Structure 1
Amino acid sequence: MRPSLHALAFALLLLAGAAAHAEVKVEFEAPVNLFLDRSLILFSPTPIRRYGDPQSPSPLLFEAQVAPNLFFPQLSAGDIRKPSGEWVFTAILTPHITLRMLNEKSSPVIPPSFMPKVTFQFLRLRLLDPTPGGHRRALALGAHVIVGHYSNGQAGCFFASQAGTDPDCTPEDGEPPLNETAGDFSTNFVRWELHGRLAFDLDGASMTGWVVGGHAGFERNLSIGPGGITEQIRGVYGDSHADVALLGERLWSGHRLHLEATLSRPFGGVEGQGPTVRVEALAAPHWAAGFGLYARYVGGRDYYNILFLEPVHLWQFGLSFELGPGARLREAVTQHASNHP
């Protein structure tokens, strides 16, 4: 059984167990929206390095991450206000695209990153009883199985020392440096993620409180199917990647201040890639309807397709967009606050 079918079968079995004690509902219009990608428009004072580009390092004019999350009908069972909580299962299609435009003579858009993926998401949501001090709390747990593709849409040879077009490159074998201006980069992958959020000191009526949490992820590169990773790319890029993150949020009057730190590293591939650290900050006013001011620092290796061997200390600033957790979840928190004054 393929990983995506494993995820679907596992989620349906768990949902069936929950359904034995509660009615299964299908949500079409107001799905719970947690633990998913955001869209970004970023600017940076940090130049971008590309081997083979005579103007490198080049100033980054802007970077855009377009990641709409398209929900399939969402299944749920249970009640978020009861001790057993609510169980939610859904599938989300994300046509994830990232592109960079460099501030060179022709302001070129360098080969973009295509990462379409399907996320099978299983959630457990629970509004906890107030603490002895009267503080209200909520818990959200999530498990993801993600199946996707990652490429840059190029047909050049992977190594700079090779001539021709992929797969007819000479010599057949090569070694770094990579053809970072036009080289082919492609892999399929399966990724597993665990997420957790604890909200406390909640006031549902005024949408005020604190949130702490984190996630852990493990991603395996696959040669299965069109666009799968080749042994040549695997030997440099690696077999898999893992990451862990910690985060905190302050909520007040519906406004959000979010801080998150992520540590990631590859396994396999060429030696010396090492870990990469990413620190993100987001300030999202309630009245901005999902938009927020965003800043990010990336230290380690570049995350942009075939540039993964380039060392970076990248500072970025711009706008973020992500939808809230959903009207149904907000309504449940507000009602919980009213029932526990």
Structure 2
Amino acid sequence: MKKLLLIFGMLYVTHCCLGQQDTTNANGTTGFLPLIYANRQLTYLTFYDGIGNLPNMVTEARFSGNYFLKKEKINWALELNLNITIRIRDKKSFPIPPPSYNPVLTYYRRIPSGEGSFLSKTFLDQVFWEVSVGHHSNGKAESFYIEDSLGNDTGQINYDNGNFSTNYLELAFSTFKRRNRGGQNNYYTNLRTAFRFYSSKMSAKELRDTYGFYRLFLTYNLFKIPLGEPGKSWSDFFSRSRLRFHSGWIFGDMRDAAADDIDKRLIAEVTYFYYPGWLSELGFFVQYYRGQDYYNIQFLRTAEVFRVGISSNPLDFDGFKRILK
């Protein structure tokens, strides 16, 4: 009962915080800012630890507060995302290991898509590039490895308070397309590709041959899934749904991982979201994830988990206009 009260308490706080974003006006907003908003890191809560090899948890929660600056013509934007991920362990007093801090500053720039061109007719209405500067750490400053009584490294990672700190630069391109079904522009697709580089000079030295400093990502989103005959109950159900495919490959030196080691280097994620009308900006999700554990200093573990939870992000792109200005 205590665990359920804890989860629902966090859900209530999250819902209240998200609801405070509805007060702004958005006269003249185009599809550019809604696309950025749709692609932002999600605030989410999971129900327990799911099915897989993650440690027993009450919940994993990510809080991704977003702050935007933009130009009136809406062809560029600047976003600060304060990503904080916590895991509440399913133990007495529900301990929280050191959180995972991942603040990211991102500059977005819209690219003219060439209205009426083959590309715009085929798979894009909006296209933009983005560059991000990010930091990832656990907020600790002790030795990365546990030391023996003589002060020598034992080679065992200090998971409790060892310094795990790195900084990175990411360059990405995204496309967005409104697609026609039944004579109406009623579903949307998005494709994003990104390359990330971690600086060895701005990272804990122990990560240089352990973490994998080069990463390539590919993400595909389908908003308002077009299944079933329009106007029917199943069609209406899927029209409130979103499907996300995300994959990545880690390049560079990794401990005990060959260059073609799929188990260590591949990142794969499939997530299905459903947004019931009575939850406004919140939706339920089911997710399968496998790949490097992104939490704190746990990156040597390959996480594989199937889980459910609740997340942020409105589904209706036209509805973004009441949030963004």
User: Normalization by structure 1: what TM-score?
Assistant: 0.69
SS of the equivalent of 2:170 reads strand
Distance in 2 of aligned mates of 1:189 and 1:294: 29
Asked if the contact 1:71–1:93 (Cα under 8 Å) also holds between the matched residues in 2, the reply is yes
Alignment map for 1:1-341 (pairs within 5 Å)? 29-30=25-26, 32-34=33-35, 35-43=39-47, 44-46=49-51, 58-76=55-73, 88-124=75-111, 139-160=125-146, 162-163=147-148, 170-171=151-152, 175=155, 177-201=156-180, 209-223=186-200, 228-250=202-224, 255-268=239-252, 269-272=254-257, 273-323=264-314
Question: How much has 1:127 moved relative to structure 2?
Answer: 11
Letter in 2 for 1:45: G
Residues of 2 paired with 1:59 and 1:116: CA distance? 26
Cα distance per residue 1:291-334 (max 9 Å; x no partner) = 11112111132121211111221122111112467658769xxx
Flag the structure with more relative contact order, 1 or 2, with Cα contacts below 8 A and sequence separation at least 6: 2
What secondary structure, in the 3-state scheme, does the structure 2 residue paired with 1:67 have?
A: strand
Q: In 2, distance between residues paired with 1:69 and 1:89?
A: 16
Residues 48, 127 of structure 1: alpha-carbon distance in 2 compared, 3 angstrom cutoff: same
Assess if the C-alpha contact under 8 Å between 1:40 and 1:318 holds in 2: yes
Which stretch has the larger CA shift, 120-129 or 255-264?
120-129
- Label 1:210 to 1:128 Cα distance change in 2 as closer, same or farther (>3 A): farther
Cα distance change of structure 1 residues 290 and 95 upon mapping to structure 2, 3 Å threshold:
same
The one-character-per-residue Cα deviations of 1:239-277 (angstroms, maximum 9, x if unpaired) are 222211223232577953111121212222324222121
CA contact (8 A) 1:136 1:202 kept: no
Aligned with 1:148: secondary structure? strand
- Helix, strand or coil: the match of 1:65? strand
Q: Greater helix percent: which structure? A: 2
Instruction: Measure the CA separation in 2 of the matches of 1:237 and 1:193.
Output: 21
TM (norm. structure 2) is 0.72
Q: Distance in 2 between matches of 1:233 and 1:289?
A: 42
How many residue pairs match? The answer is 270
Paired letter, 1:312 = A
Considering only CA atoms, is the larger Rg found in Structure 1 or Structure 2? 1
RMSD of Structure 2 on Structure 1 (CA): 3.3
Q: What secondary structure, in the 3-state scheme, does the structure 1 residue paired with 2:65 have?
A: coil
Amino acid across the alignment from 2:251? F
AA partner of residue 292 (structure 1) = G
Give the gaps of 5 or more residues in structure 2.
1-23, 226-234, 258-263
| C-alpha spacing 1:163/1:283, structure 2 compared with 1 (3 Å) | farther
Q: How many angstroms apart in 2 are the aligned matches of 1:271 and 1:33?
A: 42
**CA distance in 2: counterparts of 1:281 and 1:249, whole angstroms:** 10
Corresponding residue number in structure 1 for 2:232: none
> Does the 8 A contact of 1:61 with 1:102 survive in 2?
yes
Give, in whole Å, the separation in 2 of the partners of 1:310 and 1:123: 38
2:288 maps to a residue whose letter is: Y
Structure with the largest fraction of strand: 1
Is there any run of 5+ residues in structure 1 with no aligned partner, and where?
A: 1-27, 50-57, 78-87, 332-341
In 1, distance between residues paired with 2:282 and 2:204?
Answer: 39
Question: CA separation in 2, counterparts of 1:292 and 1:101?
Answer: 21
**Residue of structure 2 equivalent to 1:21:** none
**Residue 113 of structure 1: CA displacement?**
0.8
Identical residues among aligned pairs (%): 22
